[in-house]
Structures are given as structure tokens and as C-alpha cells.
A and B are shown apart, each in its own frame.
Chain A
């Protein structure tokens, strides 16, 4: 009628049209650009970021190993465990003047740990922490009279202030004039 033959496209012809329309290739820079992008992802997130949970697990395992290693190390200063502590002596022990009796009265209802901390505060620690802890425990135990000190050497004499030094009398120095030099 109008010169148009309303014939349909064959499947093959249509497929050829579609394939031709889709036959576009990416530019040569495409693949290098993708690789660069992947490399930048790798730099930012680490290798395969979604596997980070595995790395986290590994890190946790390594940390656990380190912690267990530290825990199993022998205690370098077992002094605190070696302090011999005896039950409080009621009347048999001789009265020993403790060096610092005040801390004993501080917060008696608290746990022994807290009392001990209070008791050691006045001491200035100038030795290693382990030794300081051992000494503080010792002092606290003496203060609480939990340690028998009768067998110890006389502490009082050791704690006495040193005797004053006597004045040193020096003879006056006399300076004799020099002999006249020869030829003067």
C-alpha cells in the first residue's frame, strides 16, 4: 500500500543486529585502569579485605600465645610469697615498737590488701618495685604484729640516731716567713 512490506525480522537477522550493537570493546586503558584500582584497594584495605576476619583471628591467636607465654614465666621476685606470716600473737610477744604504728589503725574493716596499701604510702620507694613490695609487706606484718620479731637483732639500737661527732680541735697553723733569698 504505502510501499512498506510489514515483514518481520528473522531471529538470525535480529541476533546479528544485536551482536553488532554489543560488539564494542573497552579501550586499551581499561584493563590497566582496573588493575590499578584493585592495587589501590589492596593498599587501602589490605589484601582481600573481606578476609580481615581471618587476620583478626590470627592476630588474636598470636596475642593469646604471647599472653600465655608471659603468664607462664617464673615470678622473678617471689619475696612476697616467702614472707613468713604468723597469726596475731596475743600476749606472749614482747612489745616491739613498730616503726610506723599509725597505718595499722587505718580502716581496719577493709580488706587486708587495702590496709597494706595505706600502710606503705609513707615510705618512699627508692628500690625496685618488687623489693619495695616485699619490704612494705614486711613492715605491715611487723606493724600488725603478725611477724615474730623477738629473734631479730635489736632493731631499736639500729634505729637510734648516730652519735654526734665530736668537735675536732685543730692546732692553729703558723706560717713562718720565707728566708731571704740569696743575693737580695
Chain B
């Protein structure tokens, strides 16, 4: 009788160790994705890291309940997105956004840019982010996920758990709206 109890406890410990290892693998694999999803909403590195960290903590607490572990990334994206939106609402009063120096510009290119170019690049980035922020939530998420880590339609479809056709149409609509709002960028750079 006692052997059965010991075996039961032993199997539980083993199962938890396997879960720990699996979670660690998922964490290493998805940390950048979670951060970028949060960053796309918050545009502030510290906040984005906080939110991504919170999402991982939440994921850890519920990891055991996730039946299909291959859905982890989609699950994490949804959680991070929600948490980031919550944080954004909480941060409404914060007026100071991250300095545009955070805007990634290739190092070699940046060296060649003079002050005016840097200012222009910052301005373009701000306008792009503002245009993305104006998109409806569903379109915004598609644009963001399609812009992270080279996700194709199939991957975005899997992350959002919607058909590929839906992703395509959402992406089409999102790009259309963005192009309308950002058309001045082309004209000003070409002019």
C-alpha cells in the first residue's frame, strides 16, 4: 500500500520535472516574440519587458492546463497582447514615450546618417507607430505578427487561430489603411 503511495508521489515529481524542462524550452524559444508583441503596443522597452515577463509568469502558472503544448506560442501571444493593452490603458497618463533612439536603425547605416536623417527616421517611425496604433485591434495584431520574425501567413494564422484567408484579408485591409495614412512619407522623401 505504501509502495503505491510512493510510486504515485514519484510519478508526480517526475511529471513536474518534465513540465519544468518543457517550459524552459518554450521560454527560450518565445521570449523575443513575447517581448516584441508587447513592444508593438507599448513602444517602451522597460514596459514591454515587464509585460512579457508577466505573461511568462502567467503562462507558467497555467502551463499544466495547456493540453496542446504546440499551441504555446499562440497562447503566449494572446496573453501578452492582452496584458500589453491593459498596461497601455494604465499608462495613458504617461506622456513621455521612449526616446526614438530606440528605433532600430542598422549600425552601418546610422553611421552615415547625418543629424537631419536621424531626425527624419525618428519622425517616420513615430508616424508609422501612430498609424499602426490607429488600426482596429484585429488588424493591428495581424500587422504586428506579420512583421515579427518573418512570420508568413500560415504562421500568423496559427498564432491567431484563424484561417489563412482571414489573415490575408485582414492584412490587406491593414496595409491599405496604413498606406493611406503614411502616403506623405513617400511623397516627402521623394519630393
Residues of A participating in the B interface, judged by any CB pair closer than 8 Å: 3-9, 11, 13-15, 17-27, 30-31, 33-35, 37-38, 41, 45, 47-51, 54-55, 58, 61-62, 65, 68-69
Are B147 and A24 in touch, CB under 8 angstroms?
no
Are B185 and A9 in touch, CB under 8 angstroms?
yes
> Quick one: which of A13, A22, A38 contacts B60, CB cutoff 8 A?
A38
Nearest Cβ in chain A — how far from B72, in angstroms?
14
Are B186 and A8 in touch, CB under 8 angstroms?
yes
Nearest Cβ in chain B — how far from A32, in angstroms?
11
CA distance A38 to B148 in the complex (A): 25
> Size of chain B's interface in residues, with CB distance under 8 A?
61
Q: Known: A26-B45, A37-B57. Is A21-B9 also a contact (CB below 8 A)? A: no
A-B contact sample (13 more), CB < 8 A, given A8-B186, A51-B19: A3-B191, A6-B187, A8-B183, A9-B179, A9-B183, A14-B182, A15-B147, A19-B150, A22-B148, A24-B36, A38-B27, A48-B16, A48-B20
B61 within 8 Å of A by Cβ? yes
Are A26 and B52 in touch, CB under 8 angstroms?
yes
Q: Known: A18-B128, A22-B40. Is A48-B179 also a contact (CB below 8 A)? A: no
CA distance A20 to B188 in the complex (A): 19
Q: Known: A26-B35, A37-B53. Is A7-B190 also a contact (CB below 8 A)? A: yes
B32 within 8 Å of A by Cβ? yes
B83 within 8 Å of A by Cβ? no
CB contacts (< 8 Å) of B144 on chain A: these are 18, 22
Are A24 and B186 in touch, CB under 8 angstroms?
no
B82 within 8 Å of A by Cβ? no
> Quick one: which of B5, B15, B39, B125 contacts A65, CB cutoff 8 A?
B5
CA distance A65 to B7 in the complex (A): 13
B146 within 8 Å of A by Cβ? yes
B62 within 8 Å of A by Cβ? yes
Are B147 and A19 in touch, CB under 8 angstroms?
yes
Are B61 and A31 in touch, CB under 8 angstroms?
no
> Quick one: which of A4, A27, A34, A48 contacts B27, CB cutoff 8 A?
A34
Are A51 and B49 in touch, CB under 8 angstroms?
no
Are A4 and B146 in touch, CB under 8 angstroms?
no
CB contacts (< 8 Å) of B146 on chain A: these are 15, 18
Q: Known: A6-B183, A26-B31, A30-B35. Is A20-B56 also a contact (CB below 8 A)? A: no
> Quick one: which of B1, B23, B175 contacts A14, CB cutoff 8 A?
B175
B79 within 8 Å of A by Cβ? no
Are A41 and B60 in touch, CB under 8 angstroms?
yes
Are A21 and B20 in touch, CB under 8 angstroms?
no
B65 within 8 Å of A by Cβ? yes
